[in-house]
Amino acid sequence: MSLSAVISGSATEQGQVFQNFIGGEWQNSRSGETFTSTNPARTSEVIGSYQKSTAADLEDAIDAAVEAQPGWAATPAPERGEILLRTALLLEQHKEELARLMTREMGKILKETRGDVQTAIDVAKYMAGEGRRAEGETVPSGLRDKFCMTIRQPMGIVGIITPWNFPLAIPAWKTFPALLAGNAVILKPASDTPLLVLKLAELLHEAGLPAGVLNVVTGPGGSLGDALASNKRIDMISLTGSTEVGRHVAEICGRDLRRCTLELGGKNAVIILEDADIGLAVESVAWGGFGTTGQRCTATSRVIVQKAVQKAFTDGLVVAAEKLRIGDGLQPETEMGPLVNMGRIKAVHEYTEIGKQEGAQLLTGGSAMTTGEYSEGAFYKPTIFTDVSPSMRIAREEVFGPFISILPVASYEEAVQVANSTEYGLSTAIFTENTRLTFRAMRDIESGLIYFNAPTTGAEIQMPFGGMKASGNGHRELGTSAVDEFSETKSIFVSYPARKG
């Protein structure tokens, strides 16, 4: 039986109607209302209708989580890990189906959606292994007849809010470590891409996850997200989203001193020095800037290039951008798909107009694609501006589209100064063959992720992921410490002196 047949509540002429997953059961929202999601490459195609949940549905989900969490916390960590391993195997079994659904739901090409699913598979396997790792440490005491150690305990109920650009990978890399740590989870996916999270819930349930340990509610980010973040029965919030939303969620959680982990926006830079391999730099920037249609928090947005190689690099990048095959991500020849919805066209184009008004030079792109095969989709041309200064808005604000600004500089020192000049600090790349500058850059660049001779995209699951400054609040996802992010640490002191008298 296909996944879609398993989780469908009913069907209409507008496509399937999908339900919330609460307490191990599929349920309609108490509101009785639904919302639709369409294919951004062909907006007349409805992917499905989803529950427009309310605070009452959230309370149902929290009730289920509160009931299930103690039993889950008492389950041995290796057993929790085995459920994640079975989930990984189910994800592998359904990989192609999930990838094609993801392309239809959010637009990115099959090569990328397959990678998105593979990330979820890899995280599940990685976290399954974490179930048999030491969860604390023993520490020598400074006193006689005393033993010291730490242990890790679940937070309790974790609320997870995920974005639309990685519909499976990000929910997986938050949910799996949260579950392994012994927490119950309330997961709210983005309204543009709820389907893959519902699929994930079904597979976890099939793998043996007890009812109520994972609950999924769909609905508007504003009202439902606020209700989730402000509910005092939620012990922790984990959010990936914009910096603006992150600040708002942090304020809500701060009122009750509840833990809040935030992975936020970026204005990611590539530095190209005069000794760089220009061909490699062009290829990497084209992928980093136009892959996922520029809709990654780690997407290349700024290119800071030494003037000696500015023309060679710029000419090469324009050629690469204009050669990109744009279209429906399900077509094997497509290299860049649509934006996630029609509203994003307006948002990206506003920055094109801002760039022109600020005096930057538009080299290519700068408009929507609206004729022929593109007439029904959210397609926007790969856009490149040059002669951009660090003070311009297009050099400081996150565009989240296929939009690259080129900023010329004279030296390494100026390049680093410009790279560090925004409020963000998520991902930065530098192209150089100079070993001394490589090690200086490791120290000088204010960024949570730094790549050398590679794009700003391409995180690996065994490495911590997260940013500095306004790109986050100091927490890191993935890597060996991922489970710790969803845990409380207790320090234990055991004294065993000889009895007196």
Residues 337-367 have pLDDT tens digits of 999 999 999 999 999 999 999 999 999 999 9
Give the model's pLDDT for residue 284.
Answer: 98
Which H helix or E strand runs over 229? Answer: helix 221-230
Q: Is the dihedral of CA 124, 129, 132, 138 positive or negative?
A: negative
**Cα(409)–Cα(239) distance, integer angstroms:** 36
Say which residues have a Cβ less than 8 Å from residue 49's Cβ, sequence separation at least 6: 12, 14, 15, 16, 17, 18, 34, 35, 36, 37
Candidates 263, 335, 477, 485; catalytic one: 263
Sites in the chain below the pLDDT cut of 70? 1-15
Which among 318, 314, 394, 403 is positioned nearest to 355, based on CA atoms?
A: 394
The yes-or-no answer on residue 263 being catalytic is yes
What integer pLDDT is reported at residue 2 of this predicted model? 46
CB atoms within 10 A of CB 290: 26
Task: Find out whether 293 and 450 touch, Cβ atoms under 8 Å.
Answer: no
Calculate the alpha carbon distances from 369 to 324, 326, 478, 485 in Å: 13, 10, 37, 43
Q: Tell me the C-alpha distance between 390 and 422, whole Å.
A: 8
Is 297 marked active-site? yes
Number of C-beta neighbours around residue 33 at 10 A: 13
Each residue of 152-183: pLDDT tens digit?
A: 999 999 999 999 999 999 999 999 999 999 99
Q: Provide the H-helix boundaries in 38-132.
A: 55-74, 77-93, 95-106, 110-130
Q: What CA–CA distance (Å, rounded) separates 84 from 172?
A: 10
Match 């000696």 to its residue by tokens. 308
Boundaries of every domain in the chain: 55-264+472-489, 268-452
Please choose, from the candidates 373, 372, 378, 369, the residue with its C-alpha nearest in 3D space to the C-alpha of residue 347.
Answer: 378
CATH superfamily of the domain spanning 55-264+472-489? Aldehyde Dehydrogenase; Chain A, domain 1 (3.40.605.10)
Given this chain, do its domains 55-264+472-489 and 268-452 carry the same CATH topology? no
424-425 vs 468-469, strand pairing mode: antiparallel
* Per-residue tokens: 84: 């994640």
End-to-end Cα spacing for the chain: 73
Predicted local confidence at residue 500, as pLDDT: 82
Side-chain-facing half-sphere of 121: CA atoms under 13 Å: 16
Please name the CATH architecture into which domain 268-452 falls.
3-Layer(aba) Sandwich (3.40)
> Cβ neighbours of residue 437 under 8 Å, at least 6 residues apart?
273, 412, 430
Closest CA to 421 of 437, 435, 434, 405: 405
Give me the count of residues in the chain: 501
Q: Which amino acid is at 55?
A: A
Strand boundaries in 360-463, DSSP class E: 361-364, 368-369, 379-380, 383-386, 403-409, 424-425, 427-431, 449-452
User: Of the residues 112, 135, 253, 297, which is catalytic?
Assistant: 297
Strands 300-306 and 268-272, bridge-based pairing: parallel
